């Protein structure tokens, strides 16, 4: 068989590797959009039903039926019932709204505080930077969930306390991220040009630099929604968040412990809903990174638009040469 030029072999491997990355990212992004869209749609429908004083799905998350306690999944109760005969499916759906609302509030509050602190610290430098960053380090010195649990226990056991506690431990991460971005941007030519034209410090920070920091912190915030949902469920599981009979996923898992393993459905479905939704937001964050990051976007565009060689490439061109020991290495 005729030998294949090294240039063609390199192009073939490059195209194959880029195409694999592009296809994997496309599948991952579509899956993320589907998961997040379903979760958001359920939460919106449940909120609309509450405004209309209706229950979705019937009979509602708080409807008690003592004749159907701990009933296994069936056609009448898709996910079974709990110890009070309440429909688990209705409670899981209601929990989607609660978990999303709490997670969004936590991330938005933490994002707003952390971004402002990071931008001010990174742009100002000096004593201002030292004071703000040492304060940030003080919060980061404690494990996030333990600090949040201590704050929630001090404030009070409720969803409102959960939002405050998680927002307090969440903002330092955004402050560090925003500060790092500002340090790399403040000496850029367009910032120096704006400063030379007489732009004020406030304008430089919030009109010139901040718009270029937003994409990075937005990507992180999107992925953090899933982590915020897990943290919310964790505090509720510890008895520090939502209190019965609120249909929050972590609280439902806590209530189910006394009935395991007999009533397996009681904890399984809230746990699956929590895991799948958090996983979807993590994938969505990765998708936004691929879309907003110029390097990743360029790779995907290159894989999508790269034309095939006019001359056919043999299948052997995509195989890596054998190692000295005779074993084959995978395509990089």
- Predicted confidence (pLDDT) at residue 218 exceeds the cutoff of 80: yes
The pLDDT of residue 32: 64
pLDDT tens by residue, 2-34: 555 555 545 544 444 444 544 555 566 676 677
Instruction: Tell me the mean pLDDT in the region 216-226.
Output: 88
The pLDDT of residue 328: 37
The pLDDT of residue 296: 53
The pLDDT of residue 54: 57
- Predicted confidence (pLDDT) at residue 232 exceeds the cutoff of 90: yes
Range with lowest mean pLDDT among 37-46, 71-80, 89-98, 210-219: 37-46
Smallest Cα–Cα separation from 71: which of 56, 84, 81, 59?
Answer: 81
pLDDT tens by residue, 155-169: 988 899 999 999 999
The pLDDT of residue 316: 40
Q: What is the 3-state secondary structure (H, E, C) of the chain?
A: CCCCCHHHHHHHHHHHHHHHHHHHHHHHHHHHHHHHHHHHHHHHHHHHHHHCCCCCCCCCCCCCCHHHCCCCCCCCCCCCECCCCCEHHHHHHHHHHHHHHHHHHHHHHHHHHHHHHHHHHHHHCHHHHHHHHHHHHHHHCCCHHHHHHHHHHHHCCCHHHHHHHHHHHHHHHHHHHHHHHHHHHCCCHHHHHHHHCCCCHHHHHHHHHHHHHHHHHHHHHHHHHHHHHHHHHHHHHCCCCCCCCCCCHHHHHHHHHHHCCCCHHHHHHHHHHHHHHHHHHHHHHHHHHHHHCHHHHHHHHHHHHCCCCCCCCCHHHHCCCECCCCCECCCC
Domain architecture of the chain: domains with CATH:
13-303 (1.10.3720.10)
Range with lowest mean pLDDT among 42-46, 163-167, 212-216, 258-262: 42-46
- Predicted confidence (pLDDT) at residue 139 exceeds the cutoff of 50: yes
The pLDDT of residue 153: 92
Instruction: Tell me the mean pLDDT in the region 173-181.
Output: 93
pLDDT tens by residue, 57-86: 667 788 898 888 999 998 888 899 999 999
| Residue whose tokens read 């953090």 | 224
Separation between Cα atoms, residue 65 and residue 79, nearest integer Å: 15
- What's this model's pTM, rounded to 2 decimal places? 0.75
**Largest separation between any pair of C-alpha atoms in the chain:** 79
Report residue 47's pLDDT band, with 50, 70 and 90 as the boundaries.
Answer: low
pLDDT tens by residue, 256-312: 998 988 899 999 999 999 998 888 888 887 777 777 665 555 555 555 555 544 444
Instruction: Tell me the mean pLDDT in the region 42-56.
Output: 61
């Amino acid at each position: 068989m005729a030998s294949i030029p090294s240039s063609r072999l390199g192009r073939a491997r490059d195209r194959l590797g880029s195409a694999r990355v592009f296809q994997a990212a496309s599948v991952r992004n579509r899956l993320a959009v589907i998961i997040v869209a379903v979760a958001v749609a359920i939460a919106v429908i449940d909120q609309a039903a509450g405004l209309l004083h209706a229950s979705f799905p019937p009979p509602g998350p708080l409807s008690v039926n003592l004749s159907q306690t701990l009933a296994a999944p069936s056609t009448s109760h898709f996910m079974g019932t709990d110890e009070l005969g309440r429909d688990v499916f209705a409670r899981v759906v209601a929990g989607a709204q609660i978990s999303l609302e709490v997670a969004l509030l936590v991330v938005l509050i933490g994002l707003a505080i952390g971004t402002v602190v990071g931008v001010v610290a990174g742009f100002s430098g000096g004593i201002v930077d030292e004071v703000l960053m040492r304060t940030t380090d003080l919060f980061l010195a404690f494990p996030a969930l333990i600090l949040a649990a201590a704050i929630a226990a001090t404030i009070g056991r409720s969803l409102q306390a959960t939002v405050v506690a998680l927002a307090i431990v969440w903002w330092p991460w955004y402050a560090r991220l925003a500060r790092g971005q500002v340090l790399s941007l403040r000496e850029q030519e367009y910032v120096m040009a704006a400063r030379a034209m007489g732009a004020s410090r406030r304008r430089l920070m919030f009109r010139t630099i901040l718009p270029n920091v937003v994409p990075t912190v937005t990507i992180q915030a999107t992925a953090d929604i899933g982590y915020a949902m897990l943290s919310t469920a964790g505090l509720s599981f510890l008895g520090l968040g939502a209190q019965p009979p609120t249909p929050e996923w972590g609280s439902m898992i806590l209530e189910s412990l006394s009935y395991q393993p007999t009533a397996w459905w009681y904890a399984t479905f809230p746990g699956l809903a929590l895991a799948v939704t958090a996983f979807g937001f993590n994938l969505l964050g990765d998708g936004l990174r691929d879309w907003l990051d110029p390097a990743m976007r360029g790779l995907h565009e290159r894989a999508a638009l790269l034309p095939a060689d006019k001359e056919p490439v043999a299948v052997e061109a995509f195989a890596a040469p054998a190692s000295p020991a005779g074993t084959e290495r995978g395509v990089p």
